[in-house]
Chain A
Amino acid sequence: MRLLVIEDDLNLSLSLKMDLGNAGYVVETTHDGELGEFLGATEHYDAVILDLGLPRMSGLEVLRQWRQADNHTPVIVITARDAWFEKVDGFKAGADDYLCKPFHPQELLARLQAVLKRVHNLNQAKLRVYGIELDEDEQTVTVDGSNIQELTAIEFRLLRYFMLNAGKVLSKTQLGEHVYSESTEPDSNVLEVYVKRLRKIVGNDLIHTRRSQGYFFGLKS
């Protein structure tokens, strides 16, 4: 396994190289953002350890440029910046994990292993049934490749439950669990209202009412 460590603190960089080397990785280091970006873009690495505060080009910029160029090498960001907005910005830029300084070397090794494992069996965040595509991260739905529609939390939960249980008859009690939120009171009408809304979104042919049993999601046989 070949790793690239981009870290401007020479002491830290050296000690990382030693630790990762001891763990059996082949480690290359650089202290400069621009050079790091170049190396990451031209050489093949299994993973990159990237500091954010770098001379000449910030770590986030390096990451953004790689991702724009469709370079999906796993990147673990190590940084002293640990505010949530910074973490989110890091992930938005395409980081695979985010480790805040100071950290134990073992923690870095553990995260590295987790990231490498994750990359090999990609976490599928999209659900597809009967031409309906549900994006679990964005909470959106696409029906037959048409426009992306946003869903509320309840609509999303209900639709996902339907999709995961396609072809089964679902009772109102089973479905009811998915339609209550912190600010709404449980109400028997609420479920019907949401089912009606979902029919509007996915079309009338997919959600069927089974009298005195509940609802059924799927194509009528």
Chain B
Amino acid sequence: MMSLRKRLGRGLMAVLCVIFIAHWIAADWIIRTAAEKQMANRLADDGYSLLETLAYSDNDQVTFNNFHISSVYDRRLSGHYYLVKVDTRAYPSPSLLDFPLAVEPVAPDQSRLYHLTGPNQSPLLVLGLGAVRFGHRVNISIAEDLSAVDHDITSIRAAYFGLTLLILFSAIGLLRWDIQRSLRPLNAVGSELEQVTSGTRQKIESDVPEEIQPLVQEINHLLEVLARRLQQSRTAMGNLAHALKSPMTLLLRTTEDPLFDTRIDLRLQVNTQAETIQRYIERELKRARIAGDQQASAAFNPRQEVIALKKTLRTIYADKPLDIQVTVPNYLIHFDREDMMEILGNLLDNACKWANKRIDVEITLSDLAVIRVADDGPGCLTEDLTHLTQRGQRLDESVQGHGLGLGIVLDIVDTYHGSLQFGRSKTLGGFLATVSLPIRQ
């Protein structure tokens, strides 16, 4: 669908163009009419002056004289003409030079304004006056060449057209700017929605115009519902998984029963199946636990947590002399502590499993939180590395040792739209896992 800005822009532009064209036509008509009206007044003056000079002569004739009107009527083809008709006799002005002016007859006491073509194809404005004097019908037609006026009108018209265009374009420009300005809140909402998708925001908070307020409210409501559903299903999943654990322990214990000593195959089978179930529970439970949002998370100090994790791992791997070195910022950051600990715990646990002696943990914070965990173990072959990062791979089943842990790290990283890379450590020579996560500043 066409963008709202284009749609509004085009509509307004079309409307503006129509209005301005209509306006220009009307203005043009008014200018022309005004000019002709003024000319007609002058013609009427001259016409009535002629009418007043009409006199009755002895031989039953009506005469007139043109002393009272301008001498311009005497100059040849001056553009000012008259034609006086008394009954059927016509008395043209000297300026007409015998040009047959096809005047229209006018009823007595009436006047009429019309256009004619005069000498040299010049356009004429003609005023016809009708009268009855001394028993004779008199028709006086006064004409004036419109060429000069037309010329003036054309230049006025052009100037006015230019002005109209200028106003039209500036109006379009202003409207465009205004549309852009008015649509700005929509853009703000759009970018907030993007943040919602990427998990750095939980709801749309910007101030929006009334028209889209209901839409934003609805989206916020949906987001809330979604969050609640997610929470419910997570809780349900967690409860189920926790509830299953004690019975699972008892089940495993049952296989230790001496009765099974005679049926070692059965014991093995039960054990294998129980372990499979346990792995599924584990994976789903951990997945369900991923918070995946930074909005609600309280701040924590990564250094303190990593040091605590280091102590934990040294206890768990008490039989292995491990040298775990930590380079982590010592200030509060906003990130879900549980997710961060799960990533670090799994990567470090993996490193502890494989390292000979040395492990390096490093967290750097800029636009991204980058976590690097390197060890001096055997590392991983290049082909296995690509295998590890393949999406949808059942890491827990396909790669022994780099098991469940890396799978859950990948799940968390995916939830945060981050990236997880594996490679070989330059300094320690073993496995290097690099996690990059976008963080909210």
Q: Using a CB–CB distance below 8 Å, which chain A residues touch chain B?
A: 9, 11-12, 15, 19, 53, 80-85, 87-88, 91-92, 96-98, 101-106, 114, 118, 123, 125, 137-139, 150, 152-154, 156-157, 180-183
- B349 contact set on A, CB distance < 8 A: 84
Q: Which of A83, A98, A157, A181 contacts B316 (CB 8 A)?
A: A98
B334 part of interface (Cβ distance < 8 Å): no
For the complex, give the distance between the alpha carbons of A180 and B311 in Å.
23
Q: Which of A53, A84, A103 contacts B249 (CB 8 A)?
A: A103
B326 part of interface (Cβ distance < 8 Å): yes
For the complex, give the distance between the alpha carbons of A105 and B248 in Å.
12
- Cβ-defined contact, B374 with A182, below 8 A: yes
For the complex, give the distance between the alpha carbons of A152 and B330 in Å.
11
- Cβ-defined contact, A84 with B346, below 8 A: yes
Q: Using a CB–CB distance below 8 Å, which chain B residues touch chain A?
A: 241-242, 245-246, 248-253, 256, 274, 278, 282, 285-286, 289, 305, 307-312, 314-316, 318-319, 323, 325-327, 330, 337-338, 341-342, 344-346, 349, 360, 362, 364, 372, 374, 425-427, 432
For the complex, give the distance between the alpha carbons of A92 and B362 in Å.
22
For the complex, give the distance between the alpha carbons of A101 and B251 in Å.
11
Q: Which of B241, B311, B342, B362 contacts A181 (CB 8 A)?
A: B362
- B307 contact set on A, CB distance < 8 A: 137-139
- Cβ-defined contact, B315 with A91, below 8 A: yes
- A138 contact set on B, CB distance < 8 A: 307
- B337 contact set on A, CB distance < 8 A: 85
- A15 contact set on B, CB distance < 8 A: 250, 253
Determine the main DSSP class of B at the interface with A: helix
- A106 contact set on B, CB distance < 8 A: 256
- B282 contact set on A, CB distance < 8 A: 82
What are some 5 contacts across the A-B interface (CB < 8 A)? Answer: A12-B249, A85-B345, A137-B311, A138-B307, A183-B372
- A85 contact set on B, CB distance < 8 A: 337-338, 341-342, 345
For the complex, give the distance between the alpha carbons of A214 and B427 in Å.
21
- Cβ-defined contact, A83 with B286, below 8 A: yes
- Cβ-defined contact, B345 with A88, below 8 A: yes
- B305 contact set on A, CB distance < 8 A: 88
